[in-house]
């Protein structure tokens, strides 16, 4: 007996097509009698988030498709394990020679487990049903097969995102989404990481949000840095280059290297980069404001934020003119500590990166093939900078992103108490980061709508969150 995981593409809300494709695939492939074919929880419905919306009419359609599937599998000699989404939950069918039996299963947060002997061994089949960003908390046994339908395509198809096989506590093989049937006996392929899931989650969210709000185009300000490069790449992967407007908005502090990186990115993505010099507007506004200020006042921060706000005004004006949606380019690290300008680089109708730490963005660009191919290597290796003053880098104001993100993750996702945080990172550094986060709560609340990709988005933080994190110096 050989166990196979079927990862062919499935259409959204088209169970007839999905079942016909499976029968065709079974007939065209040489299976041995007794082989087992396992299908993901999204097989009938397609995309995961739509599986929740099963109505009476659609259930009847699925039931008809299921009957035809059973008929098509007669005399095939194989067993098919198939989860089917009902109006009130799931059924798991085991179809043998066209006859179906309902298998018992145990539910947990974000999925369910089916106990089945595979290859004469007691494996647990673990099916993920949670959407991207939702909790997925199985109680993992020592031997299991994880079947995850988290990789989506633009036309409503879904692939298995990850198939992971563990035997006696050791990973036997892992497989990425691919349009083929995977044998559990095959050697290990690359694991579909959290970075792949976040990337696909952003693509799904962008496509759905634009459709629901009636936008067909987006506008993005390109700085030549990592954040805007990722947002532009995601937008092109969803919409194509002809529906993505990109603008460079340089000041006197913008380096030629940033121009070069932005141009190279646009060449890779097939985008037309347009430029608007913000210095005339900046000089006019700076002069007007300075006339109202007392002599000798330090206006350094004002000048930095003024540049960001001018860029925000230009982007919103351009989007108003052609009916496009401005995509925000801020990441979770910057937003968490307030390293962003209200009504400046925080403008936009949707924030794709607001739940992704900066260090995770670097890892995502190294892991996801499309990002690795599109984003110039210099963007990934140069020191990140807002370029709002001479020779500025982000690390002038913040710890390195590797350190900052580790502290933030332990604070926000792991909810480590203040004493442990100070012991791990030193009191001064830990307190600095906590104070920055607490002081920036008003920015968290005023930030544009973001794509939720974790269990702890910043907008969910309450005042109770900070209890015990700060040392009481009274």
Q: How high is the mean pLDDT of the chain?
A: 85
Mean pLDDT value across residues 111-124 = 79
Look up the CATH number of the domain holding residue 352.
3.40.50.620
Q: Do 292 and 226 share a domain, yes or no?
A: yes
Q: Is the pTM of this model over 0.75?
A: no
Q: Do 236 and 277 share a domain, yes or no?
A: yes
Q: Do 185 and 207 share a domain, yes or no?
A: no
Tokens of 357: 């730490």
Residue 338 lies in a domain: yes
Adjacent-strand bridge partners of 86: 89
Query: For residue 106, what pLDDT is reported?
Result: 93
Q: Binning pLDDT at 50, 70 and 90, where does residue 441 land? A: very high
Q: Which of 42-51, 339-348, 368-377 has the highest mean pLDDT?
A: 339-348
- The Cα 298–Cα 282 span in angstroms is 17
Q: With 70 as the cut, is the pLDDT of residue 282 above it?
A: yes
pLDDT digits (tens, 9 = 90+) for 380-409: 999 888 888 888 888 888 899 999 999 999
Query: For residue 110, what pLDDT is reported?
Result: 87
Query: For residue 55, what pLDDT is reported?
Result: 53
Residue 423 lies in a domain: yes
pLDDT digits (tens, 9 = 90+) for 250-270: 999 999 999 999 999 999 999
Per-residue HEC secondary structure of the chain comes to CCEEEECCCECCCCHHHHHHHHHHHHHHCCCCCCCEEECCCCCCCCCCHHHHHCCHHHHHHHHHHHHHHHHHCCCCCCEEEEEEEECCEEEEEEEECCEEEECCCEEECCEEEEEEEECCEEEEEEEECCCCCCCCCCCCCCCEEEEECCEECCCCCEECCEEEEEECCEEEEEEECCCCEEECCCCCCCCCCHHHHHHHHHHHHHHHHHHHHCCCCEEEECCCCHHHHHHHHHHHHHHCHHHEEEEECCCCCCCHHHHHHHHHHHHHHCCCEEECCCHHHHHHHHHHHHCCCCCCCCCHHHHHHHHHHHHHHHHHHHHHHHCCEEEECCCHHHHHHCCCCCCCCCCCCEECCCCCCHHHHHHHHHHCHHHHHHCCHHHHHCCCCCCCCCCCCHHHCCCCHHHHHHHHHHHHCCCCCHHHHHHHHCHHHHHHHHHHHHHCHHHHHHCCCECCCCCCCHHHCCHHHHCCCCCCCC
Mean pLDDT value across residues 353-375 = 92
Contact partners, residue 311, CB within 8 Å, separation at least 6: 221, 249, 278, 344, 345
Mean pLDDT value across residues 124-135 = 80
Query: For residue 187, what pLDDT is reported?
Result: 41
Q: Do 175 and 254 share a domain, yes or no?
A: no
Which of 125, 158, 192 is a domain's end point?
A: 192
pLDDT digits (tens, 9 = 90+) for 271-281: 999 999 999 99
Pairing, β 158-159 against β 151-152: antiparallel
| 331, 357 Cβ separation under 8 angstroms | yes
Query: For residue 179, what pLDDT is reported?
Result: 54
Residue 237 lies in a domain: yes
Cβ neighbours around 173 below 10 Å, total: 19
Q: Do 316 and 392 share a domain, yes or no?
A: yes
**Residue 363 burial (CB < 10 Å; 0-12/13-18/19+)?**
middle
Residue 473 lies in a domain: no
Q: Do 167 and 243 share a domain, yes or no?
A: no
Residue 49 lies in a domain: yes
Residue 472 lies in a domain: no
Look up the CATH number of the domain holding residue 102.
3.60.110.10
pLDDT digits (tens, 9 = 90+) for 163-211: 788 888 887 776 655 555 666 654 443 345 678 778 878 888 898 899 8
Distances (CA, A) of 165 to 130, 182, 197, 277, 415: 19, 11, 18, 55, 31
Q: Do 247 and 371 share a domain, yes or no?
A: yes
Q: With 60 as the cut, is the pLDDT of residue 154 above it?
A: no
- The Cα 161–Cα 178 span in angstroms is 8
Q: Do 218 and 331 share a domain, yes or no?
A: yes
Tokens of 3: 């166990």
Q: With 90 as the cut, is the pLDDT of residue 148 above it?
A: no
User: Residue 294 is part of which domain span?
Assistant: 199-466
Which of 192, 209, 243 is a domain's end point?
A: 192
Query: For residue 191, what pLDDT is reported?
Result: 41
Q: Do 208 and 187 share a domain, yes or no?
A: no
Residue 474 lies in a domain: no
Least confident of 114-123, 154-163, 325-334, 414-423: 154-163
Least confident of 3-7, 423-427, 444-448: 3-7
| Number of separate domains in the chain | 2
Q: Which of 8-22, 112-126, 232-246 has the highest mean pLDDT?
A: 232-246
Which of 192, 213, 247 is a domain's end point?
A: 192
| 194, 201 Cβ separation under 8 angstroms | no
Contact partners, residue 463, CB within 8 Å, separation at least 6: none
Q: Do 436 and 359 share a domain, yes or no?
A: yes
Residue 33 lies in a domain: yes
Q: Do 253 and 314 share a domain, yes or no?
A: yes
Q: Do 245 and 118 share a domain, yes or no?
A: no
pLDDT digits (tens, 9 = 90+) for 229-246: 999 999 999 999 999 999
Contact partners, residue 174, CB within 8 Å, separation at least 6: 162, 163, 164, 165, 188, 189, 190, 191, 192
């Amino acid at each position: 007996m050989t166990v196979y995981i079927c990862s062919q593409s499935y259409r959204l809300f088209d169970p007839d097509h999905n079942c016909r494709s499976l029968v065709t695939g079974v007939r065209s492939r040489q299976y041995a009698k007794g082989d087992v074919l396992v299908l993901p929880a999204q097989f009938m419905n397609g995309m995961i988030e739509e599986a929740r919306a099963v109505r009476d009419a659609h259930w009847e359609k699925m039931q008809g498709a299921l009957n035809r599937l059973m008929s098509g599998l007669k005399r095939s000699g194989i067993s098919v394990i198939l989860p089917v989404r009902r109006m009130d939950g799931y059924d798991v069918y085991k179809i043998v020679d066209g006859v179906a039996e309902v298998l018992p299963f145990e539910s947990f947060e974000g999925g369910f487990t089916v106990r089945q002997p595979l290859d004469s061994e007691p494996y647990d089949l673990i099916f993920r049903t949670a959407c991207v960003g939702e909790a997925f908390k199985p109680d993992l046994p020592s031997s299991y097969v994880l079947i995850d339908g988290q990789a989506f395509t633009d036309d409503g198809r879904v692939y298995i995102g990850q198939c992971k096989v563990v035997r006696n506590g050791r990973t036997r093989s892992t497989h990425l989404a691919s349009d083929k049937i995977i044998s559990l006996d095959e050697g290990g392929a690359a694991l579909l990481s959290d970075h792949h899931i976040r990337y696909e989650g952003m693509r799904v969210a962008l496509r759905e949000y634009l459709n629901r709000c009636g936008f067909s185009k987006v506008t993005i300000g390109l700085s030549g840095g990592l954040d805007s490069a990722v947002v532009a790449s995601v937008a092109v992967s969803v919409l194509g280059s002809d529906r993505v407007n990109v603008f460079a908005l340089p000041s006197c502090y913008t380096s030629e290297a940033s121009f070069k990186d932005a141009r190279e990115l646009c060449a890779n993505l097939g985008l037309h980069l347009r430029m608007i010099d913000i210095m005339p507007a900046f000089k006019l506004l700076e002069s007007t404001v300075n006339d109202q200020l007392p002599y000798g006042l330090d206006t350094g921060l004002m000048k930095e934020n003024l540049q960001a706000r001018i860029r925000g005004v230009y982007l919103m004006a351009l989007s108003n003119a052609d009916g496009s949606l401005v995509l925000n380019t801020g990441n979770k690290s910057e937003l968490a500590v307030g390293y962003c300008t209200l009504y400046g680089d925080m403008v936009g109708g949707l924030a794709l990166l607001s739940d992704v730490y900066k260090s995770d963005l670097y890892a995502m660009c190294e892991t996801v093939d499309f990002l690795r191919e599109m984003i110039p290597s210099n963007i990934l290796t140069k020191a990140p900078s807002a370029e709002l003053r001479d020779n500025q880098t982000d690390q002038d104001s913040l710890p390195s992103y590797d350190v900052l993100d580790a502290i933030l993750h332990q604070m926000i996702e792991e909810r480590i108490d203040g004493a442990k945080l100070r012991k791990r990172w030193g009191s001064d550094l830990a307190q600095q980061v906590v104070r920055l986060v607490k002081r920036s709560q008003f920015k968290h609340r005023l930030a544009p709508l973001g794509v939720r990709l974790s269990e702890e988005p910043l907008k969910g933080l309450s005042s109770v969150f900070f209890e015990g994190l700060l040392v009481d110096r009274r």
